[in-house]
């Protein structure tokens, strides 16, 4: 108190104008004030509680407390301690009046706005913060609190890209004046992180956002390159990762195939890695476990395998879709402990979007390939049977010229060759338009691979059976031709080279001219061994054709009972192909003329 009295005494020695401006707070009887202050300069208070409120006035120079008020000095000390706590709090605090002018601000708020107390007091609160943009939810928070007495809050966006959350509540004074206490929270970090998360989600959506015109104008490789470039762009420009590596997992082999490498040494990019927790670095561990891995110091991490020459820390996240690991996404930094929990969170979110985009791209490739294949299949279905008709007619006419007109026979052979080329060309186009990326792993087994390029003759009077033969077998690469009846089949075999013309001949047991067994006997005069398969309905075998055929060399497994499944048809054909390997087809040494069989 002596210091305050001294301050008061010194203050009274100023000029007359200064003296008129100065005021002094008196708690108790003012008669004992050792000054010559004018009465209008003294602010009389009946207790120590209102002292801090009056101290907010800038021209108050001191406080006088009479002796009889000393027992209550502890109140002032408590208020002083509270004021010190408010001044040093980590949050900003301000006291404003009805006109939003700052009456007092704590140290933290003054630091944020780069102002001192003298310059801040008297400023408008929004002016103090540089007239920030009010983002809501309450766009007039101070007015709302003044009018309703209820607390209100809002978010402010300052010019230096800082974000503050302000909360306002009222303070009532004995003189009925109304003031607001404002608490200010710096939420810049939270807002920027939320904006970054939203940007990452938008980037993830953009990765897989290919418009229909883009899909059909771009080839598969072009779409893959576009996706890779988008991934590189977002990881570099949005997440600020400069060293990037993405590998895709081949589930059949466990091999992690490089898809994208930025800033990685070429030797490291070409390194063969597998989804295994040991001996394959962090990438192999993440692919095997499906869990992210943060390496804060590569020199002391036993899993890390060098990627970039100056790498000191890294994050690796799995690319996961529907609980299945599709690959890995790895980023590296030249600084030790460079990655925070937020970096890991951002990378994991983006990794899920990358996995989704890769899956979408694969589906688009498959869809386009399937559409192309369907178009080729439709064209092929429309021409397959008509081409077979051309083949049947050509071999029939050619038969009459054999031995009489070699030139005509040669011409018919060219017709046969060209007709067959038409079908094969359509089939090959369909296969080329179905890229390997669109074929699911394991879709084509070794068993089906054996069918590729094999020639199959199907003999049946039913058009649907012949169409189904083309549709079912040609998608596995078989070369299928058909005939309506037995005589056509004989001519097809003879006109196509005889002994090695077809790898498999499938015939119904009942043909318009004779039985499948009789066809087998006729073909036996052309071929050393007939690669015959007989089809029959359940319980239908007139003349015990199948029994007789088996007695004359038909393999026991080479019988199909209608209606049969595709897998049963494939099994029978593969059985015949195995027999052909054991006993290759070759031309018979006997007479090539066909004798009738009864």
pLDDT of 541 reads 67
- Name the more confident of 73 and 520: 520
Element (H, E) at 104: strand 102-105
pLDDT in tens, 189-236: 888 777 777 777 676 666 656 554 554 555 656 767 777 777 777 777
Q: Is the peptide bond before 472 cis (omega within 30 degrees of 0)?
A: no
Q: Which residues does residue 39 pair with via DSSP β-bridges, in sequence order?
A: none
- Looking at the structure, do residues 84 and 117 belong to the same domain, yes or no? no
Total residues found in the chain within this entry: 598
- Looking at the structure, do residues 477 and 592 belong to the same domain, yes or no? yes
Task: Work out the average pLDDT over 20-29.
Answer: 72
Q: What angle do CA 44, 45, 50 make, to 5 degrees?
A: 135
pLDDT at position 594 over 60: no
Task: Work out the average pLDDT over 308-332.
Answer: 87
pLDDT at position 578 over 80: yes
Q: Are 296 and 313 in contact (CB under 8 A)?
A: yes
Element (H, E) at 381: helix 341-401
- Looking at the structure, do residues 20 and 72 belong to the same domain, yes or no? yes
pLDDT band at 442 (very low <50, low <70, confident <90, very high): very low
- Looking at the structure, do residues 9 and 79 belong to the same domain, yes or no? yes
Q: Are 308 and 263 in contact (CB under 8 A)?
A: yes
Q: How many helices (H) and strands (E) does the chain have?
A: 21, 20
Taking the whole predicted model, whether its pTM rises above 0.85 is answered as no
Rounded to a whole number of angstroms, the CA Rg of the chain reads 46
Last-in-domain residue among 37, 58, 88: 88
Last-in-domain residue among 88, 107, 130: 88
pLDDT band at 438 (very low <50, low <70, confident <90, very high): very low
* Burial class (CB within 10 angstroms; exposed 0-12, middle 13-18, buried 19+) of 451: buried
Tell me if 436 is assigned to some domain.
no
Comparing 328-342, 443-457, 522-536, 542-556, which segment has the lowest mean pLDDT? 443-457
pLDDT of 507 reads 94
- Looking at the structure, do residues 172 and 270 belong to the same domain, yes or no? no
Tell me if 397 is assigned to some domain.
no
Tell me if 32 is assigned to some domain.
yes
pLDDT band at 595 (very low <50, low <70, confident <90, very high): very low
Domain of residue 295, residue span: 194-366
What percent of the chain lies above the pLDDT cut of 70?
A: 72
pLDDT at position 374 over 50: yes
pLDDT at position 81 over 70: no
- Looking at the structure, do residues 262 and 123 belong to the same domain, yes or no? no
Q: Are 489 and 519 in contact (CB under 8 A)?
A: yes
pLDDT in tens, 137-186: 888 888 888 888 888 999 998 888 888 999 988 876 555 567 888 888 88
- Looking at the structure, do residues 356 and 469 belong to the same domain, yes or no? no
pLDDT of 522 reads 92
pLDDT of 562 reads 82
pLDDT of 351 reads 85
**What residues contact residue 327 under an 8 Å CB cut-off, 6+ apart?**
246, 247, 248, 249, 256, 259, 287, 318, 319, 355, 358
- In the chain, the largest separation of any two C-alpha atoms, in whole Å, equals 152
pLDDT at position 82 over 70: no
Q: Are 135 and 156 in contact (CB under 8 A)?
A: yes
- What distance in Å separates the CA atoms of residue 121 and residue 123, rounded to the nearest whole number? 6
- What distance in Å separates the CA atoms of residue 541 and residue 303, rounded to the nearest whole number? 70
- Name the more confident of 449 and 292: 292
According to DSSP, the β-strands at 559-562 and 532-537 are parallel
pLDDT of 342 reads 83
pLDDT band at 2 (very low <50, low <70, confident <90, very high): very low
Tell me if 174 is assigned to some domain.
yes
Element (H, E) at 164: strand 163-172
- What's the mean per-residue pLDDT of the chain? 76
pLDDT band at 538 (very low <50, low <70, confident <90, very high): low
List, as one string, the DSSP characters of 504-550.
EEEEESB-SSSBHHHHHHHHHTTBSS--EEEEEETT--GGGHHHHHH
Last-in-domain residue among 366, 394, 416: 366
- Looking at the structure, do residues 130 and 64 belong to the same domain, yes or no? no
What's the number of domains the chain is made of? 4
pLDDT of 143 reads 87
- Looking at the structure, do residues 115 and 9 belong to the same domain, yes or no? no
- Looking at the structure, do residues 84 and 106 belong to the same domain, yes or no? no
CA nearest to 1, candidates 19, 23, 26, 21: 26
CATH of residue 103's domain is 3.30.450.20
pLDDT in tens, 102-116: 888 888 888 888 888
- Looking at the structure, do residues 119 and 201 belong to the same domain, yes or no? no
- Looking at the structure, do residues 286 and 147 belong to the same domain, yes or no? no
What percent of the chain lies above the pLDDT cut of 90?
A: 13
Q: How many CB atoms lie within 10 A of CB 118?
A: 8
pLDDT at position 128 over 60: yes
pLDDT band at 443 (very low <50, low <70, confident <90, very high): very low
- What distance in Å separates the CA atoms of residue 135 and residue 405, rounded to the nearest whole number? 96
- Name the more confident of 82 and 568: 568
Tell me if 490 is assigned to some domain.
yes
Q: 12-21, 284-293, 297-306, 397-406 — which one is most confidently predicted on average?
A: 284-293
Task: Work out the average pLDDT over 105-130.
Answer: 86
Tell me if 39 is assigned to some domain.
yes
């Amino acid at each position: 108190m002596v210091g305050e009295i001294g301050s008061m005494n010194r203050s009274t020695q100023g000029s007359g104008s200064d003296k008129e401006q100065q005021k002094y707070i008196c708690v108790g009887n003012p008669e004992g004030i050792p000054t010559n202050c004018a009465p209008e300069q003294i602010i009389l208070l009946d207790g120590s509680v209102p002292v801090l409120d009056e101290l907010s006035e800038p021209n108050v120079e001191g406080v006088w407390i009479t002796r009889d008020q000393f027992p209550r000095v502890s109140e002032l000390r408590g208020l002083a301690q509270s004021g010190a706590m408010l001044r040093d709090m980590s949050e900003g605090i301000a006291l404003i009046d009805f006109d939003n002018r700052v009456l007092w601000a704590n140290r933290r708020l003054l630091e944020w706005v780069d102002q001192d107390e003298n310059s801040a007091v008297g400023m408008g609160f929004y002016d103090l913060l540089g007239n920030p943009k009010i983002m809501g939810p309450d766009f007039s928070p101070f007015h709302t609190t003044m009018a309703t007495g209820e607390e209100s809050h809002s978010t402010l966006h300052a010019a230096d890209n800082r974000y503050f959350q302000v909360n306002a509540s009222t303070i009532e004074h004995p003189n009925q004046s109304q003031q607001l206490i404002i608490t200010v929270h710096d939420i810049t970090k939270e807002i920027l992180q939320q904006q970054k998360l939203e940007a990452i989600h938008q980037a993830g959506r953009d990765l897989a956002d290919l418009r229909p015109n883009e899909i059909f104008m771009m080839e598969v490789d072009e779409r893959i390159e576009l996706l890779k470039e988008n991934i590189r762009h977002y990881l570099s420009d949005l997440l600020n990762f400069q060293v990037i590596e993405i590998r895709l997992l081949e589930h059949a082999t466990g091999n992690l195939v490089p898809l994208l490498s930025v800033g990685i040494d070429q030797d490291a990019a070409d390194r063969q890695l597998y989804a295994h927790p040991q001996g394959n670095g962090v990438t192999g561990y993440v692919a095997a476990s499906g869990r992210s891995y943060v390496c804060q110091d590569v020199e002391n991490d036993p899993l890390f395998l060098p990627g970039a020459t100056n790498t000191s820390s890294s994050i690796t996240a799995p690319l996961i879709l529907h609980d299945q690991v599709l690959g890995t996404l790895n980023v590296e930094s030249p600084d030790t402990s460079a990655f925070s929990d937020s970096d890991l969170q951002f990378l994991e979110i983006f990794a899920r979007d990358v996995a989704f985009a890769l899956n979408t791209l694969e589906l688009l490739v498959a869809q386009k390939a399937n559409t192309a294949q369907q178009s080729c299949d439709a064209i092929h279905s429309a021409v397959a049977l008509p081409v077979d008709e051309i083949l049947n007619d050509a071999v029939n006419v050619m038969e009459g010229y054999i031995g009489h007109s070699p030139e005509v026979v040669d011409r018919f052979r060219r017709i046969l060759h060209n007709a067959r080329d038409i079908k094969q060309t359509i089939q090959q186009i369909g296969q080329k338009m179905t890229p390997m990326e669109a074929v699911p792993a394991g879709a084509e087994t070794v068993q089906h691979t054996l069918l590729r390029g094999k020639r199959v003759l199907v003999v049946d009077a039913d058009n649907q059976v012949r169409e189904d033969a083309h549709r079912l077998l040609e998608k596995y690469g078989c070369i299928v031709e058909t005939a309506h009846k037995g005589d056509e089949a004989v001519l097809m075999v003879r006109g196509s080279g005889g002994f090695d013309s077809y790898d498999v001949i499938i015939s119904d047991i009942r043909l318009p001219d004779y039985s499948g067994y009789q066809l087998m006997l006729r073909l036996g005069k052309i071929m050393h061994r007939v690669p015959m398969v007989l089809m029959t309905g359940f319980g239908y075998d007139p003349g015990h054709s199948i029994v007789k055929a088996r007695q004359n060399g038909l393999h026991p497994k080479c019988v199909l009972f209608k209606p049969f499944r595709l897998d049963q048809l494939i099994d029978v054909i593969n059985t015949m192909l195995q027999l052909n390997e054991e006993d290759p087809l070759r031309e018979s040494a006997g007479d090539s003329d066909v004798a009738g069989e009864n």
